[in-house]
Amino acid sequence: MDSLLLLIPVSLFLGLLGLIGFLWALRSRQYEDLDGAAARILFDDQPRKETPP
Residue 7, pLDDT score: 96
pLDDT of residue 17: 98
All structural domains of the chain with their residue ranges: 2-40
Q: What is the 3-state secondary structure (H, E, C) of 18-51?
A: HHHHHHHHHHCCCCCCHHHHHHHCCCCCCCCCCC
Question: Whole-model pTM above 0.75?
Answer: no
8 A C-beta contact, residue 25 and residue 31? yes
pLDDT of residue 32: 83
**Nearest to residue 20, comparing CAs of 9, 28, 31?**
28
Average pLDDT (26-35) is 85
